[in-house]
Amino acid sequence: RLVRVFLGSTKVTSAGLKHLRGNTDLTVLNLGETQVDDACTEVLQEFKNLRNLYLERTKITPKTIDTLK
């Protein structure tokens, strides 16, 4: 059971986030300074218990961030 995942400053991509699917208890996810982009939106929306999401210096656009609020 994953609750907090820190992937900041790693080589993770949007495609790699698929491996986190099913972790419904996830509350903190740090993706700062990674190569994730708007393609990860569907996966991020699955984390209903997510309270803290760090996306600084990623390729995710402000429009996508608005859909995650």
**Global confidence as pTM:** 0.93
Taking the CB of residue 36, how many other CB atoms lie within 10 A of it?
23
Q: How far apart are alpha carbons 7 and 30 in whole angstroms?
A: 6
Where residue 64 falls among pLDDT bands split at 50, 70, 90? Answer: very high
Whole-angstrom CA distances from 15 to 38, 41, 43, 51 are 11, 11, 10, 22
**Residue-wise pLDDT tens digits, 8-51:** 999 999 999 999 999 999 999 999 999 999 999 999 999 999 99
> Do 22 and 37 meet the contact criterion of CB atoms below 8 Å apart?
no
